[in-house]
């Protein structure tokens, strides 16, 4: 087969090339012979069950202690010397070398120590073999088609689909190999949760945390759909989002803003709505990061100087009720892909943890798509394949951009020598191909093949902004072609995606204080009630750097990794290039009527003494501050991923106090606007009598200023609610809510001992009064709730769900191991350096034998009674009660209210069979609806709100039974209201 085998698609990605174009030359070159890459380092026996026992795994040699500091993520044109270069004296050089050598030695010694003391299977039980995809009727057709295609594939073709081609080898952040012979394209995988990373003419949507703060399911869906459409038009097959882990166990967690808030129910609904939106446009969504990636410090090996990533030690119940909940909702929504995270879970790497991937994700949650690794989160070859990983991303090995894949040729070899069973490879590839069919990407009209077969594939490059650029940026290949077609995907007219962005940014803005109804503002300045005796123009002063644009442009820092000017996104892979960014100061200026108002601004955080007078001459001061964070491979202003504290940054608190003290010489009113990645401690200023309003505008994306003006001037009545709790002091979140910033061992250990009690559950349990509770937010009108009705749907409550249903059979394959010769590269095949191919270099070391699979491999693990369909046992989603209530708008203006439902489990509950006491949170969110009601006694000032409670909503995870258990002997309390601490309607069920 190998002779006729072509990897052409790997080189493709261009306009129709002229016969003599560089693109064509690159293709021809590609088939000229060159020597094979060395494969000598791989040991197929090298499974470590994903544990810290790194056995014979290749250890990254001589790599930078800050591994991903060299993350070549910026586009060429923006490169500014990522790796700082100093020119020390010779002596200095020598000393540095000595020091580095000593540290490396110590760390290696430490590695040996870890190797010697670590338990063989970590502390995570094993779960083998990997459940096969294709057992859910909702995927039946796609699996049929996929199996038919996969049955025609050769071994190397299969491997090509499972392994990325290497960092920056093609145009997207992740690219798989194609099977051009069967018209299966190379897949383009691109970040990220808030837009299309590294692309032009796209929309910079508000971040996840802003979306969560809208509590608006329809907007969550619309954002996903617009994002999906943009991806499709840019040729992206797989979006690397939404993010739902971290969930926010630590309020300072650097990437909390990529997700939707610190509650599993809210996070789950928002994730599922986003996924449905994305996939309804035919693009595969990725639920990430599975699981326990709650902080940036030590998230991955070597990035923070430790040889191993942090271990998030999570008990079974907490895992189910908190961290896995949003993933279950994502799987239930049909998500095509799940990304396993960098960290370890219970001392076993998440991407090699069989309990998590095989057991929980694929068996219990019935996940039918494919598991991809986070970028370099794969830490073993055979072990991760057996543990349930299906796709290696970006394909490189243990080190960044090293081209030494743990899979690729090594996977081919592992299958040939039987250390990875052929049926595992068949399952991996079928899962990927089935996901591709499931979203309809086989439709060649919408998804034409990449060149030379068609003109599809990605039409932008992640590595340059130029039209013509390198085709294989990360390799030694100099072939160039058209890499950026600058296609505008932002929509037009009514369909302009900026409109959705603006709506979300406005609805995701939370008003937490509004004394004397200072908001909404009047465009003419003085309000009617204040006008008397006021002859002068209304004077408005705008203060703070966060009000203005970054003078070097909103994209001047790589991956938005600096806090300059107004903050509209966090930083890292979850950020995009802003097409534009409306600065608040400009929008506010435009909003005021200049005939009757006078607007001044001082958009800096420092007020020089001689300029303080500027504060005295104001009737109204609007002061801006912010708090930023991002992904751990970058740092900004001393913040390395995770925030150092929860205060505003860059002197924000001081500025706010100064403005509030001096505005109008003590007679003016101050409005505080904060852009932030999560909760901010407001105590320094929130109670000052001159601070009349506090507006939390989160991370609004490109429409920042416009959306803020919509809220400040009342065009949009605020309906955002906090997707997290704001404490009075950081300690109030609890002793385990702090980022671990110093390693407490060679494998940093983080014990999630607070269990299910994070955020408001913690505050409730320990009776801590927050400043503003989860779910809180004000409106320009008032609402009243009445007529609570609880309608039980099932008359006979049962402790456990119905037995796991029968599933359909997965496709079967011929699992014969092919002749190793078929896995050699075709004659004359020219390899590009560091590019990952599936070929082996020689057949001499292929020996089929009895390989030591993990001990439990041959005794299939027991299937979970909680499984049986996507999202788990379908009976978990049977409706147990319908709850209705009436919302009345009792105020002067129209508005939306977020009506929230919380349940309390029976008090002092003991297990009905064993008599063991079960501890429950005081309350948990189990429903929310955003409801519109007209104000001013209009006819439609009432609206009915309806909630459905499922069995899972009313159950807890019982580790002993390995199942969800619903108390049946005692009553639940149902509370309906406006926030987690304002719940006027109470009933029993
Ligand atoms: C991040 C992922 C991202 C990937 C690709 C990783 O560093 O953790 O969220 O999708 O890079 O950019």
Q: What is the pLDDT of residues 402-450, one digit of tens each?
A: 999 999 999 999 999 999 999 999 999 999 999 999 999 999 999 999 9
Q: Which two tokens stand for residue 786?
A: 């009445």
Distance (angstroms) between ligand 1 centre and the Cα of 670 equals 40
Q: What is the pLDDT of residue 41?
A: 29
pLDDT, tens digit (0-9, with 9 covering 90-100), for 763-796: 999 999 999 999 999 999 999 999 999 999 976 7
Q: Is the peptide bond before 91 cis (omega within 30 degrees of 0)?
A: no
pLDDT tens sequence across 308-339: 999 999 999 999 999 999 999 999 999 999 99
Instruction: Give the closest residue (by CA) to ligand 1 atom 7.
Output: 375
DSSP 392: B
Q: What is the pLDDT of residues 623-635, one digit of tens each?
A: 999 999 999 999 9
Residue to mutate, 171, 573, 574, 633, ligand 1, most ligand atoms under 8 Å from C-beta: 573
* Residue tagged 């994306």 (tokens): 701
Question: Which pTM was predicted?
Answer: 0.90
Paired tokens of 795: 């008359």
How far is Cα 363 from Cα 135, in angstroms, rounded to an integer?
10
**Which residue has the CA at smallest separation from atom 2 of ligand 1?**
374
The DSSP code sequence of 164-222 is: B--TTSSSSSEEBPPBGGGTBPPPEEE--TTS-TT-SS---PPPHHHHHHHT-HHHHHH
Contacts of 111 (CB under 8 A, 6+ apart): 54, 59, 307, 746
pLDDT tens digits, one per residue of 819-860: 999 999 999 999 999 999 999 999 998 998 888 888 888 899
192 CA closest ligand 1 atom index: 10
Name the residue of 66, 172, 375, 571 to mutate for ligand 1: max ligand atoms within 8 A of Cβ: 375
Q: Mind listing the pLDDT tens digit for each residue in 66-110?
A: 222 222 333 433 332 223 333 345 566 667 666 665 655 455 444
Which residues have a Cβ under 8 Å from the Cβ of 147 and sit 6 or more positions away? 134, 430, 811, 812, 813
**Nearest ligand 1 atom to alpha carbon 299:** 8
Give CA–CA dist 769/755, Å, rounded.
20
Distance from Cα 71 to the centre of ligand 1, integer Å: 11
Closest atom of ligand 1 relative to the 71 alpha carbon: 7
**pLDDT value of position 406:** 98
Compute, in angstroms, the gap from residue 893 CA to the centroid of ligand 1: 44
Cα gap 208→240, rounded to integer Å: 13
Neighbours of 488 (CB within 10 A): 12
- How far, in Å, is the centroid of ligand 1 from the Cα of 295? 14
Closest residue by CA, ligand 1 atom 4: 375
Tokens 């303080």 correspond to 612
**Could you say which DSSP state residue 851 is in?**
-
Measured from the Cα of 241, ligand 1's closest atom is 10
Average pLDDT of the residues of the chain: 89
Set 136, 263, 363, 374: catalytic member: 374
pLDDT of amino acid 77: 36
Cβ–Cβ < 8 Å for 391, 370: yes
DSSP letters for 508-537:
T-EEEEEGGG-PSPBTTBS-GGG-TT--SP
Residue 437: phi, psi to the nearest 5?
Answer: -65, -40
Nearest Cα residue to atom 3 of ligand 1: 573
Q: How many CA atoms lie within 13 A of 599 on its CB side?
A: 19
CB proximity list for 63: less than 8 A, separation 6 or greater? 302, 399, 400
pLDDT score recorded for residue 915 = 93
Tell me the CA–centroid distance for residue 579 and ligand 1, in Å: 22
Ligand 1 pocket test, candidate residues 69, 192, 208, most atoms within 8 A of CB: 192
- Between 47 and 799, the more confident residue is 799
Atom 8 of ligand 1: nearest residue by CA position: 374
Dist CA 924 CA 538 (whole Å): 46
Q: Is the pLDDT of residue 491 over 90?
A: yes
Instruction: Please give the backbone phi and psi of residue 987, each rounded to the nearest 5 degrees, phi first.
Output: -150, 170
Measured in angstroms, how far is the CA atom of residue 299 from the centroid of ligand 1? 12
**Chain-centre distance for alpha carbon 493:** 30
Least confident span in 246-255, 477-486, 715-724, 851-860: 851-860
Pocket test for ligand 1, best of 69, 191, 395, 462 (most atoms within 8 A of CB): 191
Q: What is the pLDDT of residues 443-490, one digit of tens each?
A: 999 999 999 899 999 999 999 999 999 999 999 999 999 999 999 999
Is 919 a catalytic site residue? no
Tell me how far CA of residue 262 lies from CA of 149, 574, 790, in angstroms: 42, 18, 27
User: Residue 908 Cα, ligand 1 centroid: separation in angstroms?
Assistant: 44
Please name the residue whose Cα sits nearest to atom 6 of ligand 1. Answer: 375
680 contacts 695 by C-beta, under 8 angstroms: no
Q: Is the pLDDT confidence value at 611 over 70?
A: no
The three-class DSSP label of residue 93 is: helix
Read off the pLDDT of each residue in 36-49 and give the average, rounded to a whole number. 28
Which atom of ligand 1 lies nearest, measured to the CA of 240?
Answer: 10
Determine how many CB atoms are found less than 10 A away from the CB of residue 516: 8
CA distance 578 to 593: 29
* Strand partners of residue 599: 540
Q: How far apart are the C-alpha atoms of 712 and 702, rounded to whole Å? A: 18
CA–centroid distance, residue 165 to ligand 1 (Å): 16
Atom of ligand 1 nearest to the CA of 191: 10
Question: Per mean pLDDT, which range of 609-613, 657-661, 796-800, 856-860 is the poorest?
Answer: 609-613
The pLDDT tens digits for 746-756 are 899 999 999 99
The residue among 460, 458, 439 whose CA lies nearest residue 450 is 458
Contact 451, 14 (CB under 8 A): yes
Distance, in Å, from the CA atom of 904 to the CA atom of 919, rounded to the nearest integer, reads 11
Backbone conformation region of residue 931, classed left if phi is above 0, alpha if psi is from -120 to 50, else beta: beta
Question: Which residues contact residue 801 at a Cβ distance below 8 angstroms, ignoring those fewer than 6 apart?
Answer: 865, 866, 873, 875, 876, 878, 951, 963, 964
pLDDT at 11 over 90: no
Q: Mean pLDDT across the stretch 700-729?
A: 98
**Closest residue by CA, ligand 1 atom 12:** 573
Beta-carbon contacts of 18 under 8 Å, excluding residues fewer than 6 positions away, are 24
- Residue 494 corresponds to which tokens in the numbers above? 């009514």
Between β-strands 879-889 and 348-349, what pairing exists: parallel, antiparallel or unpaired? Answer: unpaired
Rounded-to-integer distance, Cα 271 and Cα 260, Å:
8
Report the nearest atom of ligand 1 relative to the CA of 633.
Answer: 7
With bands split at pLDDT 50, 70 and 90, how would you rate the model's confidence at 295? very high
Q: Within 664-750, where are the H helices?
A: 704-712
CB of 125 within 8 A of CB of 315? no
Q: What is the pLDDT of residue 313?
A: 97
* C-alpha span between 967 and 910 (Å, rounded): 9
Q: Is 357 helix (H, G, I), strand (E, B) or coil?
A: helix
Residue 357's Cβ-count burial label (10 Å; 0-12, 13-18, 19+) is: buried
pLDDT beyond 70 at 120: no
Query: What does the block give as tokens for 882?
Result: 């319908």
| pLDDT value of residue 533 | 82
Structure token digits, residue 531: 């006008």
Is residue 679 within 8 A of residue 762, CB to CB? The reply is: no
Half-sphere exposure of 477 (CA within 13 A, CB side): 33
- Residue 354 has phi, psi (to 5 degrees) of -65, -30
Give all strands of the β-sheet with 238-239 in edge-to-edge order: 174-175, 188-190, 238-239
Bridge partners of 884, per DSSP, are 789, 946
880 pLDDT more than 80: yes
Question: Which residue's CA is the closest to the ligand 1 atom numbered 9?
Answer: 573
Residue 631 burial class via C-beta count within 10 angstroms: exposed 0-12, middle 13-18, buried 19 and up: buried
Band the pLDDT of 940: cuts 50, 70, 90.
Answer: confident
33-42, 435-444, 567-576, 693-702: which range is least confident on average? 33-42
Name residues contacting ligand 1 (CB within 6 A). Answer: 173, 191-192, 240, 288, 374-375, 573
The percent of the chain in helix, strand and coil, each rounded to the nearest 5, is 30, 15, 55
- 66 Cα–ligand 1 center, Å: 16
Lowest-pLDDT range of 225-234, 341-350, 503-512, 521-530: 521-530
Please tell me the distance between residue 850's alpha carbon and the centre of ligand 1 in angstroms. 37
How does DSSP assign 963-978, residue by residue? EEE---SSPPEEEEES
Instruction: Give the pLDDT score at 343.
Output: 98
Residue 880 Cα distances to 190, 523, 793, 875, 968, angstroms: 40, 50, 5, 10, 12
């Amino acid at each position: 087969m190998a002779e006729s085998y072509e990897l052409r698609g790997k080189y493709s990605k261009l306009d129709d090339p002229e016969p003599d174009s560089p693109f064509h030359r690159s293709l021809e070159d590609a088939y000229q012979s060159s020597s094979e890459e060395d494969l000598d380092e791989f040991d197929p026996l090298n499974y470590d069950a994903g544990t810290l026992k790194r056995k014979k795994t290749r250890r990254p040699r001589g790599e930078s202690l800050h591994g991903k500091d060299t993350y070549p993520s910026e586009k060429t044109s923006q490169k500014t010397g990522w790796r700082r270069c100093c020119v020390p004296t010779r002596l200095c050089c020598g000393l540095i070398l000595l020091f580095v050598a000593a540290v490396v030695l110590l760390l290696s010694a430490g590695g040996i120590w870890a190797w010697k003391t670590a338990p063989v299977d970590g502390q995570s039980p094993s779960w083998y073999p990997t459940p096969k995809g294709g057992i859910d009727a909702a995927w039946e057709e796609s699996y049929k088609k996929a199996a038919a295609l996969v049955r025609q594939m050769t071994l190397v073709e299969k491997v090509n689909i499972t392994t990325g081609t290497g960092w920056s080898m093609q145009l997207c952040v992740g690219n798989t190999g194609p099977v051009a012979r069967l018209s299966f394209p190379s897949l383009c995988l691109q970040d990220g949760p808030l837009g299309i990373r590294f692309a032009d003419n796209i929309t910079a949507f508000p971040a996840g945390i802003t979306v969560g703060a809208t509590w608006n399911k329809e907007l969550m869906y619309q954002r996903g759909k617009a994002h999906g459409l943009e991806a499709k038009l840019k040729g992206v097959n797989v979006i690397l989002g939404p993010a739902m882990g971290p969930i926010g166990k630590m309020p300072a967690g650097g990437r909390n803003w990529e997700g939707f808030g610190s509650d599993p129910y809210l996070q789950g609904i928002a994730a599922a709505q986003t996924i449905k939106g994305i996939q309804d446009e035919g693009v595969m969504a990725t639920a990430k990061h599975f699981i326990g990636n709650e902080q940036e410090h030590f998230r991955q090996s070597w990035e923070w100087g430790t040889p191993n990533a942090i271990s998030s030690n999570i008990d079974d119940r907490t895992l189910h009720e908190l961290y896995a909940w949003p993933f279950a909702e994502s799987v239930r929504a049909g998500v095509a892909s799940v990304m396993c995270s960098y960290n370890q879970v219970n001392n076993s790497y998440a991407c090699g943890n069989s309990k998590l991937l095989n057991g929980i994700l694929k068996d219990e949650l019935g996940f039918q798509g494919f598991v991809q690794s986070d970028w370099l989160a794969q830490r073993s070859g055979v072990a991760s394949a057996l543990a349930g990983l299906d796709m290696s991303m970006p394909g490189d090995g243990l080190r960044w951009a090293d081209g030494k894949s743990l899979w690729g040729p090594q996977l081919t070899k592992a299958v040939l020598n039987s250390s990875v069973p052929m049926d595992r490879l068949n399952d991996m590839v079928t899962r990927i191909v089935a996901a591709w069919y499931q979203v309809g990407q086989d439709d060649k009209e919408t998804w034409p093949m990449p060149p030379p077969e068609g003109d599809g594939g990605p039409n932008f490059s992640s590595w340059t902004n130029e039209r013509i650029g390198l085709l294989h940026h990360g390799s030694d290949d100099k072939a160039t072609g058209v890499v950026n077609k600058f296609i505008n995907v932002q929509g037009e007219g009514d369909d302009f995606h900026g409109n959705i962005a603006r709506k979300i940014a406005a609805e995701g803005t939370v008003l937490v204080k509004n004394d004397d109804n200072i908001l909404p503002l009047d465009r003419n300045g003085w309000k009617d009630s204040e006008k008397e005796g006021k002859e002068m123009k209304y004077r408005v002063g705008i203060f703070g750097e966060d009000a203005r644009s970054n003078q070097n442009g909103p994209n001047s820092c790589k991956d938005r990794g600096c806090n300059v000017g107004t903050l509209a996104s966090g930083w890292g892979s979850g950020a995009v290039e802003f097409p534009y960014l409306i600065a608040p100061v400009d929008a506010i200026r435009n909003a005021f009527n200049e005939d009757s108002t006078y607007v001044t601004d001082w958009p800096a955080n420092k007020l020089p003494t001689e300029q303080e007078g500027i504060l005295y001459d104001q009737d109204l001061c609007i002061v801006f501050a912010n708090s930023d964070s991002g992904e751990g491979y970058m740092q900004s202003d001393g913040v390395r991923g995770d925030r150092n504290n929860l205060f505003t940054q860059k002197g924000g608190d001081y500025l706010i106090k100064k403005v509030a003290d001096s505005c109008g010489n003590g007679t003016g009113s101050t409005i505080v606007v904060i852009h932030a990645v999560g909760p901010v401690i407001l105590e320094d200023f929130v109670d000052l009598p001159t601070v009349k309003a506090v507006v939390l505008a989160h991370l609004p994306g490109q429409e920042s200023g416009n959306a803020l003006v919509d809220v400040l001037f009342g065009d949009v009545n605020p309906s955002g609610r906090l997707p997290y709790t704001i404490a009075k002091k950081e300690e109030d979140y609890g002793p385990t809510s702090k980022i671990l910033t110093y390693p407490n061992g060679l494998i940093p250990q983080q014990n999630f001992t607070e269990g299910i009690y994070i955020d408001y559950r913690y505050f409730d349990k320990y009776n801590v009064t927050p400043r503003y509770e989860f779910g809180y937010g004000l409106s320009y009108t008032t609402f009243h709730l009445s007529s609570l009705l609880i309608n039980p749907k099932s008359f006979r409550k049962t402790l456990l769900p119905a037995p796991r249903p029968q599933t359909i059979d997965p496709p079967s394959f011929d699992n014969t191991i092919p002749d190793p010769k078929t896995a050699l590269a075709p004659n004359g095949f020219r390899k590009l350096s560091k590019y990952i191919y599936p070929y082996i270099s020689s057949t001499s070391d292929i020996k089929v034998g009895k390989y030591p699979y993990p001990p439990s491999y041959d005794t299939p693990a027991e299937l979970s009674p909680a499984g049986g369909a996507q999202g788990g046992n379908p009976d978990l989603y049977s409706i147990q009660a319908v709850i209705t209530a009436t919302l009345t708008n009792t105020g002067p203006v129209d508005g939306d209210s977020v009506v929230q439902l919380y349940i309390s489990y029976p008090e002092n509950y003991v297990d009905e069979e064993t008599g063991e006491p079960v501890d429950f949170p005081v309350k948990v969110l189990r429903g929310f609806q955003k409801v519109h009601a007209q104000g001013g006694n209009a006819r439609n000032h009432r609206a009915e709100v309806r909630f459905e409670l499922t069995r899972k909503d009313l159950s807890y995870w019982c580790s002993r039974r390995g199942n969800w258990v619903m108390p049946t002997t005692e009553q639940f309390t149902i509370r309906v209201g406006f926030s987690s601490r304002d719940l006027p309607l109470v009933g029993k069920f």
